[in-house]
Structure 1
């Protein structure tokens, strides 16, 4: 049995684990990295990267079929579904070297390509190697959750991990789950020529602001996606190419392919956490504000920590624990400034509190300001006028922002900056945006906050009148 001693052991080479490993080794720590599957984790291989690549293929097809409004004749897109998947593979291949074993070994990280499991509170075994570490980071991510629906084990089904192996376009894709993954893949496939039905047990995009979600759902339905809400799947039957889903309320959906997209579960089963005294919760590994587990030498970051499951959160967590592990400085993770986006068309983005959450937290102190895309000149020029931004403000400071519309995922960056730095609406209003840009939506939202204070104030009008009379 080979034995290694290291400063930091990272279990999992997804976005969070790779960020820790790269940062720590370049600042002088000895780092060992374990990965039993694919470098880059879910994001590179099955999640963010391939899904956005397929969305781009769908966008290209949709653009050809809907160009007449710009004075260019509509054309029937000649869709090559296998070619779209080749595009996905090419995008992954272009990014892979950044996450590769070779790159990290070049940085000085010792990479072991094997799964690891705890054998004590300071030791992890990976294959025939036992690693003793001063600090250990669990960054094993999450996997698709497959619910215990009657009959699901008797039919072929897809998840976000297996969808990318499919080379023939589904004639009728049935999606169980109306969250971000389900809706993104539903729209990508309807644009690539599939018929699509989404089955959601509660409300589609139910974790987002209802007013903003409605903007997105209206457009998805207009594109031909059938969205069944309050439709909990009860039973599944059939075979490859002919699958039937029965809902609890008696609705029946027939399709050729089934995609299960109901959520994620933390990857903890291979770790033998009990040997290290690490406790879990219903959603993942139990951590405190500093992301330490119940074993004070061990941290858990990203999806496996059971909180917000986004790639950028894992990267943020990496920065939090590096400060603690390398410099012995207090460092805590927070969520109030974390943005997220759903990459449908139009996009849907959020940072901080939704309107409902802000009303619960702040009551009458809350002001909600809105600005609609239909008043943005660039949106008009590009025929992208569906959508709105609303900002939740308390005593002049934003506590949340919601955007549904063109480039919402880009626009939310500004409000993430504002919330992270506790900035005021006046600072946003002081920004000068180039004209004409979609980004003016943000400035106009800030302007909407000050409009009643400047243009509807009797005091302001009296002061202006006094100045005009007295100052020559």
Structure 2
């Protein structure tokens, strides 16, 4: 049995763990990194990267059929689903070296490829190695949740961990779960030639602004995705190669393949957290500083039970590095964290939605809006479906929602504004190049100030006075 002593031991080589390990070792700490599965974690291998690659393939197929308004004769694309999956694999392989064991060993990290578990409050065992560390960081991420639906164990099912290995295009893909993963995969597959049915027990994209989510859902329906809402699944059955999902009120949906996309569960089962005195329920319990009930141990990313996004894990890593390397106080906040659903059109959010903002601020809230169809670049590119909505209290944005082309890019401006507690005037003062979609954000800020300037009797009196007295 090998024994190691180190400054920092990181369990999990996903986004959060890799960020902690790279940052700590490059700033002079000794680091041990433990990973029992794939370097890069879920995002690289099963999540963000492969899904966006498959979405890109679907966009190319869709573009071949929608060029008539631009003078381009539509053609029915010849889609090779297997070749699209080859593209997905090439994208993963291109990015993988950045997250590789070789790179991190080159930085000076000791990488142990085995599963880690606590054997005491100060020690973790991984295979034949015991690591004693001054600080531990749990970064084991999450896995797809497969609910206990009767009959599910009798059929072949896919999750995001297996769907990207599928080489034969599904004739009819059934998706249980109408959240971001389900909707992204629905649109990608319908564009690549599959029939798709989404089965959602409540409302599709139910965590998003309902007004803007409805725009996305209508586009998906227009493209051929069947979306069944308020369809709580009761059981699943199989007849030959056909899979049938049975929902309430006698509703049933039959297809050739089944994808489960109902949520995530934190990867904590093999960590022996109780042995280390680490409190947990469905995830590791942490304080605002991401510290667990064992003061030597922190948790970052999905396993910490907060917002489940790759960029949040990276943000958590920065908070933890500040604490464990420099001994500085650091706490997480979530009001400035953006997220996006990469459908077409995209749907992005930062801060409070309109409903949450009204509940929190009541009559003090102002909601300003600006539509894509009044943006010249959107008109030129035929991408006029979209809307920017900004929630403002006393001149300061507290939330923004965008649906439309490149919403995931455009939301970053509002994330910057909210993170730094800037006012609407900061956006209004920005000069955006013309013609760009970024102008929708500036025009939204202008929509906040317009009534104050153009509808104000006081302003008009001042302007009238100045005009009379100016030489």
1:12-411 alignment, distance < 5 Å: 12-238=12-238, 241-282=241-282, 284-411=283-410
The structural deviation recorded for 1:91 is 0.1
How far apart, in 2, do the equivalents of 1:27 and 1:336 lie? 29
Q: Deviations over 1:49-107 (max 9, x none)?
A: 00000000000000001111111100110100000000000000000000000000000
- Under a length normalisation based on structure 1, what TM-score does the superposition of the two structures give? 0.99
| SS of residue in 2 equivalent to 1:249 | helix
Counterpart contact for 1:240–1:257, Cα < 8 Å: no
How far apart, in 2, do the equivalents of 1:222 and 1:49 lie? 26
Q: Deviations over 1:4-36 (max 9, x none)?
A: 000000000000000000000000000000000
The structural deviation recorded for 1:471 is 1.0
Does residue 31 of structure 2 align to residue 11 of structure 1? no
| SS of residue in 1 equivalent to 2:250 | coil
- The answer for the alignment partner of 1:438 in structure 2 is 437
- The answer for the alignment partner of 1:2 in structure 2 is 2
Residues matched between the structures, number: 471
Moved more, 236-245 or 10-19: 236-245
- The answer for the alignment partner of 2:447 in structure 1 is 448
How far apart, in 2, do the equivalents of 1:6 and 1:176 lie? 44
Counterpart contact for 1:155–1:239, Cα < 8 Å: no
- The answer for the alignment partner of 1:469 in structure 2 is 468
| SS of residue in 2 equivalent to 1:119 | strand
| SS of residue in 1 equivalent to 2:53 | helix
Residues 166/22 of structure 1: CA separation in 2 closer, same or farther (3 Å cut)? same
Q: RMSD between aligned alpha carbons?
A: 0.6
The structural deviation recorded for 1:165 is 1.2
Q: Deviations over 1:286-319 (max 9, x none)?
A: 0000000111110010000011000000000000
How far apart, in 2, do the equivalents of 1:170 and 1:141 lie? 29
How far apart, in 2, do the equivalents of 1:32 and 1:332 lie? 24
Structure 2 unaligned residues grouped into runs of 5+: none
Counterpart contact for 1:293–1:299, Cα < 8 Å: yes
How far apart, in 1, do the equivalents of 2:254 and 2:127 lie? 46
- Under a length normalisation based on structure 2, what TM-score does the superposition of the two structures give? 0.99
Residues 240/334 of structure 1: CA separation in 2 closer, same or farther (3 Å cut)? farther
Counterpart contact for 1:20–1:322, Cα < 8 Å: yes
How far apart, in 1, do the equivalents of 2:98 and 2:240 lie? 38
How far apart, in 2, do the equivalents of 1:246 and 1:308 lie? 31
| SS of residue in 2 equivalent to 1:303 | helix
- The answer for the alignment partner of 2:422 in structure 1 is 423
The structural deviation recorded for 1:387 is 1.0
How far apart, in 1, do the equivalents of 2:114 and 2:82 lie? 32
| SS of residue in 2 equivalent to 1:133 | strand
How far apart, in 1, do the equivalents of 2:165 and 2:238 lie? 21
How far apart, in 1, do the equivalents of 2:327 and 2:468 lie? 64
The structural deviation recorded for 1:281 is 2.4
The structural deviation recorded for 1:164 is 1.1
Q: Deviations over 1:195-232 (max 9, x none)?
A: 00000000000000001101101101100000000001
Q: Deviations over 1:398-455 (max 9, x none)?
A: 0000001110000000000000000000010000011111110000000000000001
Q: Deviations over 1:443-469 (max 9, x none)?
A: 000000000000111111111111111
The structural deviation recorded for 1:386 is 0.6
Runs of 4+ residues over 6 Å off in structure 1? none
